[in-house]
């Protein structure tokens, strides 16, 4: 496996303020352990069950990120350990995350997923919806969640300019949200960029990239 070399090559191109989430979905625990041995501590998964299984057997100082589309009834299975949930796109989901985090006396960090791609297949909310949630009085009472930023996925295309335009849009939305928030929230994280486009994302202001296949090799399914 080339995991060590891949990690090294990616990390040397990333500015210090950009967090690398190693996306390990579909990959065996041995691959995660290998990346861990090279100092990687942040891993991303898109299926709750798979993440729980891996959490059980791997070192406990790993920071687990849920990056996939999340169903409300699955939150409870990971509430005792998940660090950051990337794809939050409704108040109802925030309420459920808060409820489950409370049971474990934890604070779970969340990112609001914003729809920036032109593709209809991508999830996410509009800037207006995000603004509405961030300014809800009720948010102050959800003491076991912390909304720390936004997440977005660009259109799956070879057109670099299209991708760049979408990342620019997310950065602008991030700035506008921060200016509009009356609650005590301060957004810090912009999660954007994957194997194929993380360099563009970093140029456009990403502070967190989610890289899978460039570290662990191609996956057997599109996941």
Ligand X SMILES: *Cc1c(COP(=O)(O)O)cnc(C)c1O
Residues that bind ligand X (CB under 6 A): 23, 25, 46, 67-68, 153, 194-196, 210-214, 223
DSSP string, 44-98: EES-HHHHHHHHHHS-TT-EEEE-S---GGGHHHHTTT--EEEEE--HHHHHHHH
Q: Which is nearer to ligand X, 111 or 139 (CB)?
A: 111
Instruction: Report which residue's Cβ sits closest to ligand X.
Output: 212
**Comparison of 26 and 100: residue with beta carbon closer to ligand X:** 26
Q: What angle (nearest 5°) sits at the alpha carbon of residue 118, between those of residues 190 and 209? A: 25
Q: Give how far the C-alpha of residue 67 lies from the chain's centroid of Cα atoms, to the nearest Å.
A: 5
Please, which residue, 123 or 185, has the CB nearer to ligand X?
A: 123
The nearer residue to ligand X, 87 or 142, going by C-beta atoms, is: 87
Q: How far is the CB of 126 from ligand X (least distance, A)?
A: 19
| Residue 183 Cβ vs ligand X, minimum distance, rounded to whole Å | 26
Q: With respect to ligand X, which residue has the nearer C-beta, 86 or 127? A: 86
CB of 79 to ligand X, least distance (A): 20
Give dist(CA 129, CA 91) in Å, integer. 10
Ordered alpha helix ranges (H), 75-207: 75-78, 91-103, 127-134, 160-180, 198-203
Least distance from ligand X to the Cβ atom of residue 59, Å: 22
Whole-number Å distance between alpha carbons of 179 and 127: 13
For the bound state, the minimum distance from the C-beta of residue 165 to ligand X, rounded and expressed in Å, comes to 19
* Dihedral sign of CA atoms 187, 188, 191, 197 in order: positive
């Amino acid at each position: 496996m080339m995991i060590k070399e891949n990690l090294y090559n990616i990390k040397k191109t990333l500015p210090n303020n950009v967090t690398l989430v190693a996306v390990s979905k579909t990959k065996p625990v041995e691959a995660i352990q290998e990346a861990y041995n090279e100092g990687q501590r942040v891993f991303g998964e898109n299926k709750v069950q798979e993440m729980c299984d891996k959490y059980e057997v791997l070192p406990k100082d790993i920071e687990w990120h849920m990056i996939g589309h999340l169903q409300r009834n699955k939150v409870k299975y990971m509430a005792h350990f998940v660090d950051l949930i990337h794809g939050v796109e409704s108040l109802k989901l925030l309420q459920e995350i808060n409820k489950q985090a409370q049971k474990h006396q934890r604070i779970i960090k969340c990112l609001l997923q914003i729809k920036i791609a032109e593709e209809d297949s991508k999830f996410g909310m509009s800037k207006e919806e995000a603004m509405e949630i961030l300014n809800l009085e009720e948010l102050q009472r959800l003491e076991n969640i912390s909304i720390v930023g936004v997440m977005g996925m660009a259109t799956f295309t070879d057109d670099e300019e299209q991708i760049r335009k979408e990342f620019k849009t997310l950065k602008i939305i991030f700035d506008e949200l921060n200016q509009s928030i009356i609650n005590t929230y301060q957004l810090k994280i912009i999660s954007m960029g994957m194997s194929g486009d993380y360099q563009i994302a970093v140029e456009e202001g990403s502070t967190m990239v989610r890289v899978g296949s460039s570290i662990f090799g191609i996956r057997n399914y599109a996941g």
